[in-house]
A and B are shown apart, each in its own frame.
Chain A
Amino acid sequence: MPDTVALPPRSRPFDVRYMPGFTSMAWLCLIGLYAPLLIMAFFSFNESRSVTTFTDFSFRWYQIAADNAGVKDATILSLKLAALSTVFATIAATMAGLATTRTRSFKGQAFVFAVINQPLMIPEIVTAVGTLTFFGIIKQVTGIQSFGFLVLAHTVFCIPFAYMPIRARLEDMDLTFEHVAADLYASPWKAFRYVTFPMMLPGIIAGAMLAFVISLDDVIISLLVAGAGETTLPVWMIGQLRRGLTPEVNAISTVLLGVTIIFVSFFFFLTFRKRK
């Protein structure tokens, strides 16, 4: 029988701190994740057109991007699209969250989870092709051309992202609060209005922020589903890149990165903040 190894105090099995190579592996991952972003952000401030040699610090490319009518239109469309699909997706996700945590467990609940989260599992290109076909048929039959199609497509894939934090929040909330409300003469609607909703609000906001970022960043579905003239910002950028990498795209990417970081930070703040 081998001697028992003296473990450091308060250690746990698989404590990564005591595994050989942990530090170098961690650094490798961090560099792999963030070096490209840092380099991109760095060159967006380059005075010259080059994306490989830095000459002088400047906001020139930000100015050029801001003055570009194409960028402006695409940004407005992207924001409109993200805002609308966020609203719809968050409403749907809130209702789904309530239905899956605030009712007695029902038959097929696991199936409902799977269906709601399906968009996370199916390859996006498959969803995109499917949506394209489906909307194509509808457009042909009805003759309707509308921005609504794009909003609908975005709403659908945003739902699971909005749903996750909302459901997590609801599962953390003791059902006793709703019982207290009911005990104190609150009808189901009033209990929701004055107790459940205000208490789940941080989850809803977190879900909405995540949905907004996901919609804002989407390329594949927008690329395939968008109608004529409906160019979102990422789609516009893809078009630019076909003609070559410019610091202008770097600048736009850096702005998008900044917006995303702000939203995601807020999301984590709302989700993991100490409660009580």
Chain B
Amino acid sequence: MSNPAVAVEAQGVTKIFGSGEEQVRALDNVSVTIRENEFFTLLGPSGCGKTTLLRLIAGFEHPTDGHILLHGEHIAHLPPFQRPVNTVFQNYALFPHMTVADNIGFGLEMQGMPKQDVARVVDEMLTLVRMENLGRRRTSQLSGGQQQRVALARALAPKPKVLLLDEPLSALDLKLRKEMQIELKRLQNETGITFVFVTHDQEEALTMSDRVAVMNAGNILQIGAPRTIYDHPSERFVAHFIGETNFVEAELIEIDGRNGRVQLPSGAEVPASLPDVDLSPGKVTVVIRPEHVDLVPDAGVLQGTIDNVVYFGTDTHYHLHLDDGTPFVARLQNQRDSAAAFTEGDKAGITVKDNAIQVLVD
């Protein structure tokens, strides 16, 4: 029954906090399968239920309904200290009354590992997170980035089956955060441990993850590789939450599996990707990423007027309104010596690159 490739499985998990009038449905019948050795990210705005799902896997909360399985075994009834799962907490929570080495060795000591072995693993961990020679330090003597590394080493030392990370980078400044993103990816590769990462930062999710689950209001809206999530969002929320997007009303006129044709407001008929659900022809919303279009002097597939031109160095953002009033943004890469081809008030045609129009479910 147990599938060896599956690390964590949530089956129809519902979590309700409070009761009566004040009850909050933090998770609403959520099912997800996290594969072994993958870097899986739960992405969503605050209050979407991502941290609740993480805490359910860690054992700090119990599901109101549904099952949680770890390597095919039910764990919902186990207290946190009996689950082979470790967490890196948002504020690190390093024990202030212990040294760095004591912090890292804590889990192993609690498991009853002999002292010499603990010392050996702690040394390995210090090397892994590149903090050799800092084992004797007090945690209060560490910088934010170092504390982060100790928290990681502490959670990794007992070699958990799954490592849970609750927005671990949010307290770091931008430069350090970028460094730690690479560091986390390296640690995951070297240890081969399944990482479940919670964040509200879409860029973080896209850069690090093997797969991303986008959550909102207690539901998982879409699960997929970062590129799929970005290029082929299936729902308006996902498209909106990840990156900048244009929404255009269109008419679905042809369906062939996951490919189809839509008629844009301009009357032009263009190929489009369809979401993985049954659709029928009719009114739909399509998304077009700003960097997947080009501006041309002739008609193109959509026509609009330029309201605003913003120069960004590597690219230039053109803010337009289409002939029916819909706002539209085009992001064009700047070439060397290229002058801005269009200025405010100009009429422009918009062409769309192949496979760049995505139909939404709603």
A198 at the interface (CB under 8 A from B): yes
Beta-carbon contact of A186 and B110 below 8 Å? yes
User: Which residue, B80, B85, B91, B154, has most C-beta atoms of chain A within 10 A?
Assistant: B80
User: For A276, what are the chain B residues with a Cβ–Cβ distance below 8 Å?
Assistant: 96, 140
Interchain nearest-CB distance for A273 vs B (Å) = 13
Contact code string A187-202 (vs B, CB < 8 Å = 1, else 0):
1101100110011000
Of all chain B residues, which has the CB nearest A201?
Answer: B97
Q: Is A174 an interface residue (CB 8 A)?
A: yes
Report the bound CA distance from A190 to B106 in whole Å.
Answer: 11
Quick check: is B79 within 8 A (CB to CB) of the other chain?
yes
Is A116 positioned at the interface, with any CB of B under 8 Å from its CB? no
- Contact present for B95 and A182 (CB under 8 Å): no
Known: A174-B93, A276-B140. A179 touches B60 (CB 8 A): yes
Q: What A residues does B79 contact at CB under 8 A?
A: 182
Residues of A within 8 A of B86 (CB): 183-184
Contact yes or no, B91 A199, CB < 8 A: no
Residues of A within 8 A of B97 (CB): 198-199
Of A174, A179, A194, A275, the contact of B80 (CB 8 Å cutoff): A179
81-132 of chain B: CB within 8 A of chain A: 81-82, 85-87, 89, 91, 93, 95-97, 106-107, 110-111
Would you call A199 and B106 a contact (CB within 8 A)? Answer: no
| Interface membership of B58, Cβ < 8 A | yes
**Could you say which residues of chain A place their CB within 8 Å of the CB of B89?**
176, 179-180
**A182 with B91, Cβ < 8 A, contacts A276-B96, A276-B140 known:** no
Rounded to whole angstroms, the CA-CA distance of A180 and B154 in the bound complex is 10
Query: Would you call A177 an interface residue if the criterion is a C-beta within 8 Å of the partner chain's C-beta atoms?
Result: yes
Query: Could you tell me if B80 and A183 are in contact, using CB atoms closer than 8 angstroms?
Result: yes
- CB pair A183–B111 under 8 Å, yes or no, is no
Chain A residues whose C-beta falls within 8 Å of the C-beta of B155 in the assembled complex: 183-184
In the docked arrangement, what's the CA distance between A198 and B97, Å? 7
Tell me the smallest distance from the CB of A191 to a CB of chain B, in Å: 8
The interface size of chain B toward A, counting residues with CB under 8 Å, comes to 24
The answer to whether B111 touches A180, judged by C-beta atoms less than 8 angstroms apart, is no
The answer to whether B158 touches A184, judged by C-beta atoms less than 8 angstroms apart, is: yes
Asked if A180 contacts B93 (CB within 8 A), the reply is yes
Question: Residue A181 at the B interface, CB < 8 A?
Answer: yes
> Would you give the shortest CB distance from A108 to chain B, in whole angstroms?
18
How long is the Cα–Cα vector from A174 to B80 in the complex, in angstroms? Answer: 18
Cα A178 to Cα B89 with chains together (Å): 12
Residues of B with C-beta under 8 A to A187: 81, 110
A176 adjacent to B110 (CB under 8 Å) = no
Partner of A180, one of B95, B140, B158: B95
The answer to whether A27 has its CB under 8 Å from any CB of chain B is no
Closest residue of B by beta carbon distance from A177: B93
Q: Does A34 contact B (CB under 8 A)?
A: no
A160-218 residues at the B interface, CB under 8 angstroms:
174, 176-177, 179-188, 190-191, 194-195, 198-199
B91 touches A185 (CB 8 A): no
Distance between Cα atoms of A195 and B107 in the complex (Å): 12
A194 to B111, CA, bound (A): 13
Q: How distant is the Cα of A93 from the Cα of B311 in the complex, in angstroms?
A: 66
User: With the chains together, A160 CA to B318 CA distance in Å?
Assistant: 69
Question: What residues of chain A lie closer than 8 Å to B111, measured between beta carbons?
Answer: 185
Q: Which residue of A lies closest to B58 (CB)?
A: A183
Query: What are some 27 contacts across the A-B interface (CB < 8 A)?
Result: A174-B91, A174-B93, A176-B89, A176-B93, A177-B95, A179-B80, A179-B89, A179-B93, A180-B87, A180-B95, A180-B154, A181-B106, A182-B59, A182-B60, A182-B80, A183-B59, A183-B80, A185-B81, A185-B107, A185-B111, A187-B81, A187-B110, A194-B106, A194-B110, A275-B96, A276-B96, A276-B140
**Inter-chain pairs besides A183-B155, A184-B81, 5 sampled, C-beta below 8 Å:** A180-B95, A182-B60, A183-B81, A185-B158, A195-B95
Closest 7 CB pairs of A and B: A184-B107, A176-B93, A185-B110, A182-B80, A186-B110, A182-B81, A198-B97
